[in-house]
């Protein structure tokens, strides 16, 4: 069964304390892995797409990496404005859909 | 450029009433998606359209749910009759081309059925 699992469910960091979020997946016909950010009361906002193992993408303090079975979202020296829920999704080429994880809720304290 | 527009933003209704949610996708986008989000189940795809044609409605939970896309700039999701377990946040998203997984979400409609 196609599945996306994110860990941890919640993470609390101090400002400047770097860490990583994990997204592991099992899906047939993978068509990319996608990271989104969701702020309270808003819809998910697209961050990155990764297509092949070894690929990396960066945006400000965020860096996403991909292996054959998982992806990491590294957050370097986070700031309070990085607080949000980070969602991971994989493209299922067989069914032409995104399969979503439940997200990691990140809180960065000043 | 305006993003995906949804209305209403909040809806409170009584069990048994009809609810209609509305969505205007980004201009020029050819695919539209309806999702439901809950704490327990996360984001669930209900239905999606390519070029105004429904492609996959296997996520629609019951016959009480229906969706239409009469033209490229408007879609509705209707629940009739509504039940308390339908309470959730409903998102509409659009993407530029059919088959594109890069989706742009609206702000959502928070539905509460009492």
Would you report the helix, strand and coil content of chain B in percent, each value rounded to 5?
A: 5, 55, 45
Q: Do A103 and B103 touch (CB under 8 A)?
A: no
Contacts B90 to A, Cβ<8 Å? none
Residue B67 has pLDDT above 90, yes or no: yes
Kindly report, residue by residue over A32-66, the tens digit of the pLDDT: 999 999 999 999 999 999 999 999 999 999 999 99
In this prediction, residue A46 carries a pLDDT of: 93
Q: If DSSP codes are grouped into helix, strand and coil, which group holds residue B91?
A: strand
In this prediction, residue B99 carries a pLDDT of: 78
Tokens representing B46 are 């209900």
CA distance B85 to chain A (A): 19
**Residue in chain A nearest B35 by alpha carbon:** A43
DSSP A52: S
Contacts B4 to A, Cβ<8 Å? 43
Residue A31 has pLDDT above 90, yes or no: no
**Contact yes or no for B75/B89 (Cβ under 8 A):** no
What's the mean per-residue pLDDT of chain A?
93
**Contact yes or no for A60/A51 (Cβ under 8 A):** no
Kindly report, residue by residue over B78-106, the tens digit of the pLDDT: 999 999 999 999 999 999 988 788 899 99
Q: Do B101 and A49 touch (CB under 8 A)?
A: yes
Tokens representing A2 are 């196609």
Q: Does B2 touch chain A (CB under 8 A)?
A: no
Residue B1 has pLDDT above 70, yes or no: no
**Contact yes or no for A57/A66 (Cβ under 8 A):** no
Kindly report, residue by residue over B55-64, the tens digit of the pLDDT: 999 999 889 9
Least confident of A89-93, B7-11, B54-58, B83-87: A89-93
């Amino acid at each position: 069964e196609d599945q996306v699992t994110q860990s941890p469910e919640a993470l609390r960091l101090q400002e400047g304390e770097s860490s990583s979020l994990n997204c592991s997946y099992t899906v047939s016909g993978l068509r990319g892995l996608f990271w989104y950010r969701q702020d309270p009361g808003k819809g998910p906002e697209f961050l990155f797409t990764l297509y092949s193992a070894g690929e990396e993408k960066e945006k400000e303090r965020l860096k996403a990496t991909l292996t054959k079975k998982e992806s990491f979202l590294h957050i370097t020296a986070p700031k309070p404005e990085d607080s949000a829920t980070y969602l991971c999704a994989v493209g299922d080429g067989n069914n032409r859909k995104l399969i979503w994880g439940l997200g990691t809720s990140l809180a960065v304290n000043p | 450029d305006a993003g995906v527009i949804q209305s209403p933003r909040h809806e409170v209704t009584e069990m048994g009433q009809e609810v209609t949610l509305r969505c205007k996708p980004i201009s020029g986008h050819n695919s539209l998606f309806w999702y439901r989000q809950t704490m327990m189940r996360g984001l669930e795809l209900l239905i999606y359209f390519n070029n105004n044609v429904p492609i996959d409605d296997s996520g629609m939970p019951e016959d009480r749910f229906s969706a239409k896309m009469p033209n490229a700039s408007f879609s509705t999701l209707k629940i009739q009759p509504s039940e308390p377990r339908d309470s959730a946040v409903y998102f509409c998203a659009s993407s530029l081309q059919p088959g594109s997984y890069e989706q742009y979400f609206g702000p959502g409609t928070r539905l509460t059925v009492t």
